[in-house]
Amino acid sequence: MKPLSATPRTSLGRYPERSTPDRAALYDILDAGLICHLGIVVNGTPRVIPTCYGRLDDTLYVHGSTGASSMMTAPSQEVCVTVTHLDGLVLARSLFHHSINYRSAMVYGVPSPVTGDDEKRAALRVITEQLAPGQWDAARQPTRKELAGVAVLALPLDEASVKVRQGPPGDDDEDYALPVWAGVLPVRQAFGAPVPDPALTPGIPVPAHIAAR
Amino acid sequence: MKPLSATPRTSLGRYPERSTPDRAALYDILDAGLICHLGIVVNGTPRVIPTCYGRLDDTLYVHGSTGASSMMTAPSQEVCVTVTHLDGLVLARSLFHHSINYRSAMVYGVPSPVTGDDEKRAALRVITEQLAPGQWDAARQPTRKELAGVAVLALPLDEASVKVRQGPPGDDDEDYALPVWAGVLPVRQAFGAPVPDPALTPGIPVPAHIAAR
């Protein structure tokens, strides 16, 4: 597996120990996420858009809409896609050493619009399965008209940085004696019980692939 | 309370019903978040950085580090700060109508670096209390040297857009008869039990303001 090569923007000036060139770590972070934040430049200014995505091998597929002007300007321009998992609040003895535990991936590159019905269907499958594994085969397939109404960008995983902070706070030596509680308050994303559509036809049970989460 | 005024980039072309000019909704979304995604332009290309923030009245304070080159280029340049809450996976009968329930706020503007010890201390207090209410008074206060080692940006809440999607899927009329389960799988951010620092002095209990979450 090819390691992530360092470029100026993926090389950290501060906290280099939080960076890893490990491609498997990149995959893990991307595969564990539900949404990403897509950064684009529109008229010279930044825009950060939450959206859905999925990964297949070394391609990241990002969901858009042909009606969203900001997505239409993105193809052939550089984007940054960031996926962040907040894992905990790091509560130190000193305010200065407060921090967060997290895993984040930032992917840079010029995305290509996915064109062609088969290619778009395959990309949407990746995005759908990222959100809800098993769902692609459970629901009605998209028509050609529906496919035409969705924009998907494909971004190669060529340039990316991975940052991870885990573990307890790191306080200054002289602060360990302070009578202040220190530790981590874990944060995680949790699923609730499925809420059926009020218009659901009676008698249709929650499928196993949804109930299992 | 001044409503959010529409600008070209805060006016949505698609799904205008998901947009609200309600400033109280902006406050609610910002106040409920733990991290934001800060979008900046570096050498003409976008960068999306997860970081901590806090709100006081109509100012958003965003945490940086004087060592992070990307933060140092941000002052006097336009930024976009996005806070997103993922509330659920919207599972429709057709793949085309799959969606997510979410609340998101995008704030645009040119931030000012917070300077001066008192101003910086006040801004850090806002950021700390956003992450962990009650923590500012519990931990050791920052020294002047520590204050100098932290960068904080102040962004006025002048231009922002709020988007919200909630509720069940909206399928095409003819799809409601399909034998496909439809509904929402709720997603939420949850706190775990506090994990004490292994180096914690024995006998210091978890403070109420942390245990209560």
**For the segment B68-109, what is each residue's pLDDT rounded down to a tens digit?**
555 555 557 999 999 999 999 999 999 999 999 999 999 999
Give the residues of chain A that fall short of pLDDT 50. none
Q: B60 at the A interface (CB within 8 A)?
A: no
SS (H, E, C) A85-96: EEEEEEECCEHH
pLDDT value at position B21?
Answer: 81
pLDDT top residue among B124 and A21: B124
pLDDT value at position B12?
Answer: 60
What is the helix (H) or strand (E) element at residue B149, kind and residue range?
Answer: none
Does CATH place domain B8-169 in 3.40.718.10? no
Interval B163-186: pLDDT, tens:
999 999 999 999 999 999 999 999
Q: Return the structure tokens found at A209.
A: 């692939």
Domain spans, chain A:
8-171+202-211
pLDDT value at position B106?
Answer: 97
Give the domain A8-171+202-211 fold: Pnp Oxidase; Chain A (2.30.110)
**ipTM for the assembly:** 0.94
CB-side neighbour CA atoms (13 Å) of A95: 29
State which amino acid sits at residue A84: T
* Residues contacting A57, CB < 8 A, separation 6+: none
Q: How far apart are CA B97 and CA B104, in angstroms?
A: 20
Q: Return the structure tokens found at B148.
A: 């100098």
Is A142 within 8 Å of A135 (Cβ atoms)? no
Q: A176 at the B interface (CB within 8 A)?
A: yes
Query: Taking a contact as any Cβ pair under 8 Å apart, which residues of chain A between 93 and 122 contact chain B?
Result: 93-96, 98, 100, 102, 104, 106, 108
Query: How distant is the Cα of B210 from the closest Cα of chain A, in angstroms?
Result: 8
Is B164 within 8 Å of B20 (Cβ atoms)? yes
Q: How far apart are CA A120 and CA B111, in angstroms?
A: 39
pLDDT value at position B196?
Answer: 98
